[in-house]
Structure 1
């Protein structure tokens, strides 16, 4: 057997494997003898058919199977011996159907294309700079949150006359045509000029307006029209008020506190405000942690300057998902895949070099944290904790065990990022929630 490597570039190569008769024939002969012992061929007792007849009937298929097995084992062994890191899977260079004569040929040549990266280097020192963000929960954010909670948990009433923050329920009709729809219209979702027409109304009042007075997004968000209905919305419309809905803000009392945080968790307005601030800070700490980690990933990926074999990987992705994706799909999704692959290579290299490993106990702890977050507002409390082992076990066994592997990878990534933050030049920066939203939009 002869195996040769031909590098076409810094990240793509071809591997040629030549098999001689001595490489495969002993295994083929052994398999033929085994077949002959078991073969049931018409006209012969089981196992008594001539070996030549068995060879004529099964020889080619056995030869093909054995050569494929030898190729697979040889290729895998050869690649494990290399210093570079293989990406994807080797792709066989296809030959014409009649290029191999399985009946008479003695020497066989095969070729594979491979993509790889030769060395992953990550500098975890002061030369790598990143920002650690923390979101400040200020009074404005606290007050907005409390106002939203008061509105959310307020009492619904049906007043006689509509006001600016009400929602009016009624029938929308087009003056021309048969269009008619019954809906609840939130007045705060309308522009000022149009909303003014709906203020000070009582039941059975009729509002007339022109389609041009409604902004496009208001048709979908406030009136709830479909794209098709919006495209046909022209001319004059009328809205007949059938009811007026108003939500009166909840009072800051013990009943309200208990609804938000559970019985007797807080017992005064001061404690309630402090608890809201604490809850918001915990939530935004998680968000800023995730954002910081994603930004750090970008820095490490950029600094590593890995040269991926893009052409090879696109071809491999297309063939590996044959029939499921098109070339256009691969082209569109490849930038995301390339970033994920690059980060995976970097993370694994850091973990290997610095002996960072995710333990089973870490996986359990992270899964428990995920379950608690999912059920945070359920009110289950002690019942959840009593059943925690069951929830965790069911989740980690789900998706044929893939959930466990995903969680294991997530834990390792977190450990790698935490380690990286200790080693690099990390500048801490406090920002407001508005500044944070601006960063997310970039």
Structure 2
């Protein structure tokens, strides 16, 4: 077998593979002999079928199969030994008048080559690294939520205010609506609807219109128990018969509540409670700040790292890569949609290689243990033993899909650490509300 390469330009090449009879003949003969031993052909004993008959029946198919095996093995070995960084897969060139009855064969493949480029992480213009904190309003709302969660419901004779909760049943016979639910009056959109409940007692009926009853129509879907398609645009009157009235009595901000939340003596005052809420929120928001940093650095690298791609080759490869072949127009459209992602894959690969970023098994175990510990803490298991974490991590990593998922997460973390070290960053402290407004609006 002889393999040669002709470089068309820096991004495109053609590889020619020549296969001679001596390369494949021995393999073909061996397969045919095995066929002869096991062939069941009427009129002949097993193992005594004439070789000429075996060759006539199976020879061409075996030849094609063995040549294709040699071709793929030789091509893959060549690409590895030559250390060619190719994009997509080699594409066989069409050959007119190809003759399988010949003894020697030549095949040609088009290659798309990865471009050479450098990545500069140190930009002149700094990238904002958001340090997201909980504002005073968010902290107060969280405290109120905690008080509600640990408070108690007190039964009432009549509805007195919008903070009351009213249980009952919605009905509309024509629309086949009959749903028992509990309403928090402060969730209702219009003050006029909320006022209809004031002074009402158990057994009273309140008539409401479903249109604009809540800010979010999904809340209406939940209380009426109707499907997603029906709730959108629903504009009918429903009767709500009150069966129970309760007021949420807030829990006292005392030491008993603090100990329930954080453990005995960990928090001893409302001031410390606010600090703890702010600290915990900061940890959660740090992930959002880091994700935004990853997004912004990605955009910067794509914009600032210039290189050409073998565009025509990649469009041709896209046409044939999927289960269903595409037209030229479809392949062009798909390439335009995926070009940005491909560029970043190459940039990311370059960064990983140049900075020797690796995911070792020991790192993966440690990373998995940290994630498991975080999950266990959510269910109140604050101090699991290291052996328990190790055993769970090893069970998780026995699943190859989990290995792939966690490896990608760990590599993203390594890239994030690299960006924090080398990219020109400008820290900016913002509340969560300010972050949402600045980034998403």
Q: TM-score range by the shorter chain?
A: 0.7 to 0.9
Question: What is the alpha-carbon distance in structure 2 between the residues aligned to residue 391 and residue 338 of structure 1?
Answer: 40
Secondary structure, aligned partner of 1:250: coil
Give the direction of change, closer, same or farther, for the CA distance of 1:178–1:420 in structure 2 (3 Å limit).
closer
DSSP 3-state at the match of 2:377 = coil
Give the deviation of 1:33 after TM superposition: 4.7
How far off is 1:405 after superposition? 3.1
Structure 2 residue runs without a partner (length 5+): none
Q: Which deviates the most, 242-251 or 340-349?
A: 340-349
In the alignment, which residue of structure 2 is the partner of 1:76? 76
Contact 2:165–2:248 under 8 Å retained in 1: no
Pick which of 137-146 and 429-438 moved more.
137-146
Paired with 1:216 and 1:326, the residues of 2 have a C-alpha distance of 46
Q: Following TM superposition, by how much is the alpha carbon of 1:331 offset from its aligned partner in structure 2, in angstroms? A: 9.3
Please give the alpha-carbon distance, in whole angstroms, between the structure 1 residues aligned to 2:248 and 2:40: 84
Task: Compute the displacement of 1:329 (Å).
Answer: 11
Are 1:131 and 2:128 an aligned pair?
A: yes
Distance 2:329 2:205 in 1: 52
Match of 2:60 in 1: 60
Please name the residue that 1:404 is paired with: 403
Question: Residue in 1 aligned with 2:144?
Answer: 147
- Find the residue that maps to 1:131 and give its secondary structure: strand
Shift of 1:338: 5.0
| Deviations 1:104-123 (CA, angstroms, capped at 9, x unpaired) | 23344545454442224211
Distance 1:205-1:327 versus aligned 2 partners, 3 A rule: farther
| 8 A Cα contact 2:171 2:178, kept in partner | yes
Q: 1:224 to 1:384 in 2, by over 3 A?
A: farther
2:90 aligned residue: 90
In structure 2, the partner of 1:196 is: 195
Counterparts of 2:216 and 2:137 in 1: how far apart (Å)? 28
Residues 2-41 of structure 1 correspond to what in structure 2 (within 5 A)?
A: 3=3, 15-33=15-33, 35-36=35-36
CA distance in 2, matches of 1:74, 1:328: 34
Q: How far off is 1:334 after superposition? A: 7.2
How far did 1:72 drift? 0.3
**Correspondences of 1:423-438 after superposition (within 5 Å):** 423-438=422-437
Unaligned runs of 5+ in 1: none
Give distance in 1, aligned partners of 2:331 and 2:266.
52
Query: What CA distance in whole angstroms lies between the structure 1 residues aligned with 2:323 and 2:74?
Result: 26
Q: Which residue of 2 aligns with 1:354?
A: 355
Cα offset, 1:68, TM superposition = 0.9
Secondary structure of the structure 2 residue equivalent to 1:204? coil
Pairwise CA distance, 1:259:
2.6
- Whether 2:232 is the aligned partner of 1:234: answer no
2:103 maps to 106
Contact 1:194 1:213 in 2 (8 A): no
CA contact (8 A) 1:189 1:221 kept: no
What is the CA deviation profile of residues 114-163 of structure 1, one whole-angstrom value per residue up to 9, with x for unaligned ones?
44422242113344742222113343332222222222222123322222
Q: Is the 8 A contact 2:115 2:309 kept in 1?
A: no
**Root-mean-square deviation over aligned CA pairs:** 3.8
Q: Is the contact between residue 172 and residue 180 of structure 1 (CA under 8 Å) also seen in structure 2?
A: yes
- Return the TM-score normalized by structure 1: 0.82
How many residue pairs get matched?
Answer: 437
TM-score when normalising by structure 2: 0.82
